[in-house]
Structure 1
Amino acid sequence: MDSVLNVDSLTASYRKNKVLNHVNFKVQPGTLTAIVGPNGAGKSTLLKVILELHPRLSGTVSCFGSTYAQVKSRIGYVPQRGTVDWDFPTNALDVVMMGLYGRIGWLKWPKREHRELAMSALEEMGLGSYADRQISQLSGGQQQRVFLARALVQDADLYFLDEPLAGVDAATEKVIMDTLNTLKSKGRTVMVVHHDLQTVEEYFDHVLMLNRTVIAHGATAEVFNQANITRTYGGSLRWMGDRLG
């Protein structure tokens, strides 16, 4: 089976600090992968380099056998909520419609069909009644759902999400994970930067364990164990209990 994402010898830095060093992995279609690692491990940087939002020093990245620029219409991205200017004067429906600009075209007005698609995505997130609400007036969980709706409306084949479950309420966490599992069931591929090791086994079928380089990557049942966690985080995580012993 051809991989949808192939990262080969990827190296990147911030200023003179190397944050990714010879990262190698392939991702198969229809998988739901958690990217885990300690703070400063390069998780968010990895997504940004793949999406050409941050330069790489060396190595290659291919999506569907092509460069990101050639297939970006097939890729959706949900950034960390803390990196977004939530004071920007726009409502929830308009944010979701931004995901349709590839179809609408820049400097063109959206048509009725575009508004209906965006509204449907909002309703799928349980936010149909919030369509006209200013984005700054939504709770953190609601804002995260709006950005997920923006990614969904693209109808992409490959999705990247940067800590979508960080700081959200239990209801939003369930909505997000149900949505990601639905995408997986449709054969879409999803990669998620994730911080809660206790839910990795429950939520994800694959895991990429990263600390500037790949420590382990594969099916969760095979690679998510105490030995690899210790290698990734540099020490024992006692709060994980005996589940991974």
Structure 2
Amino acid sequence: MANPIINVENLAASYRKNTVLHDVDFKVNAGSLTAIVGPNGAGKSTLIKTMLDLHPALAGSVKFFGLPFTKAKKRIGYVPQRGSVDWEFPTDALDVVTMGLYGQIGWLKRPSAIHKKKAYEALEKMGMEEYASRQISQLSGGQQQRVFLARALVQNADLYFMDEPLAGVDAATERAIMTILQELKSIGKTVMVVHHDLQTVTDYFDHVLFLNRTIVEHGETGEIFTNKNIARTYGGSIRQMGDEHRHVVHTFE
């Protein structure tokens, strides 16, 4: 793989002395849209957090664009799980999106009219402009997720990590989010998404990373999204649905 923009080698991490990730190795090229899939407890969220220095690594190295995270972070956007955010914090949707520009503005400076305009345009892209002055606690789960995606978009990053952005959202929000992610890919951005619905992997993603504490398989969806690799990852029985690309896992870990 020539000039990967993500290069992870021998990464390991733990929680409370229990190893969650071990011997994680993979590389990602620019312009790809990758689903990270695996059973509950497989370390999917931990993988992203460890890569982004939000959780300590036990071993290994992570490079973005050939650089450590601290030197590449301005080129990286991150959307955490919605459940990990304090939605009672007293701020409105426009201010939340504007926070995505603080790397450009500086934390001690006030955003300019131009910054506010960029934030509003990101809300427009997510169909949330009419909620710009709405307190985030008053938004539905799907609306909150759109706001957080807008905050990531306004950064104009080269690489995005998203932790279950489709979890608990309605069909319209799911379509809106995936349309944006496909557009990002089409202009050369790279996106990695923790994803829980195996039935939509082939529809939404061109690459898939199977994870269960270590990498089970990683590559192009059309080549590696198979019953065999799903069974290896989930350790469950598989029933095929409709055609060879749609699957349901009946039993998990």
Q: Distance in 2 between matches of 1:113 and 1:239?
A: 51
Q: How many correspondences in the alignment?
A: 245
Deviation of 1:240 after TM superposition, in Å, equals 4.5
Structure 2 length-normalised TM: 0.95
Residues 239 and 138 of structure 1: CA distance in aligned 2, closer, same or farther (over 3 Å): farther
Could you say which residue in structure 2 is the equivalent of 1:72? 73
Deviation of 1:238 after TM superposition, in Å, equals 2.2
- How does 1:179-190 map onto structure 2 within 5 Å? 179-190=180-191
Per-residue CA distance 1:27-58 (angstroms, 9 max, x = gap): 00000000000000000000000110000000
Could you say which residue in structure 1 is the equivalent of 2:230? 229
Could you say which residue in structure 2 is the equivalent of 1:126? 127
Could you say which residue in structure 1 is the equivalent of 2:141? 140
Q: Distance in 2 between matches of 1:103 and 1:18?
A: 37
Deviation of 1:16 after TM superposition, in Å, equals 1.1
- How does 1:203-218 map onto structure 2 within 5 Å? 203-218=204-219
Deviation of 1:241 after TM superposition, in Å, equals 5.8
Amino acid at match of 2:143: Q
Which ranges of 4 or more aligned residues in structure 1 deviate by more than 6 Å?
none
Amino acid at match of 2:139: L
Amino acid at match of 1:220: T
Structure 2 residue matching 1:183: 3-state secondary structure: helix
Structure 1 residue matching 2:57: 3-state secondary structure: coil
Deviation of 1:243 after TM superposition, in Å, equals 2.3
1:27 correspondence with 2:28: yes
Could you say which residue in structure 2 is the equivalent of 1:164? 165
Q: Distance in 2 between matches of 1:68 and 1:41?
A: 23
- RMSD, matched Cα: 1.1
Structure 1 length-normalised TM: 0.98
Structure 1 gaps, min length 5: none
1:8 correspondence with 2:26: no
Could you say which residue in structure 2 is the equivalent of 1:84? 85
Q: Distance in 1 between matches of 2:67 and 2:173?
A: 34
Deviation of 1:242 after TM superposition, in Å, equals 5.2
Q: Tell me the percent identity.
A: 68
Structure 2 gaps, min length 5: 248-253
